[in-house]
Structure 1
């Protein structure tokens, strides 16, 4: 698994944070062995979910269905980078010049 996929949930778009445990279990069920969930970090403005994968675009497409089911896809952005890398490639939302950063 060469890539780290990061899914960013903007806190202002969430009704509460209790769904994080549900989100992790739903992602694990949907993605199976294609990803390794690494956990998440929480800041005042955002929650970042980290996972490693061999195919970040495919993994995000599958994860997006979970996010849609939970009703949080509108407050999400996602990007990937090589494991240990510093440069992100944004994959959601679909905007040409979207810049992705971590706190």
Structure 2
């Protein structure tokens, strides 16, 4: 798995964080062996989900469907980088105005 996919949710865009109790299992069911989950972190402003994958674009398309079913796609952004790399390539939103960063 050559890439790390990071999916970010801005906490101010979330009505509730109840989905956190089941989202990892939902992602694992939807993505199967296409990703290796690395967990998530929660900060004051954002929630970041980390996963390793050989095909970040395909993995994101499937993961995005899971977040949409959970009703939390409004504040979603995503990017990937080479595993261990520093520079991100933005996936979503497609016209990202600002650079994707981690806290």
Task: Report the counterpart of residue 54 of structure 1 in structure 2.
Answer: 54
For 1:97 and 1:3, locate their aligned partners in 2 and report how far apart those are by CA, in whole Å.
Answer: 23
Q: Give the match's secondary structure for 1:66.
A: helix
User: What's the Cα RMSD here?
Assistant: 1.1
- TM-score under structure 2 length normalisation: 0.95
Q: Which structure 1 segments of 5+ residues have no match?
A: none
Q: Give 2:33's aligned residue.
A: 33
In structure 1, the partner of 2:5 is 5
Give the drift of 1:92: 0.2
1:68 maps to which residue? 68
Q: Which runs of 5+ in 2 are unaligned?
A: none
Matches of 1:3 and 1:75, distance apart in 2: 23
Structure 1 moving runs of 4+ over 3 Å? none
Size of the alignment, in residue pairs?
Answer: 103
Give, in angstroms, the shift of residue 20 of structure 1: 1.2
* 2:44 maps to 1:44: yes
TM-score (norm 1): 0.95
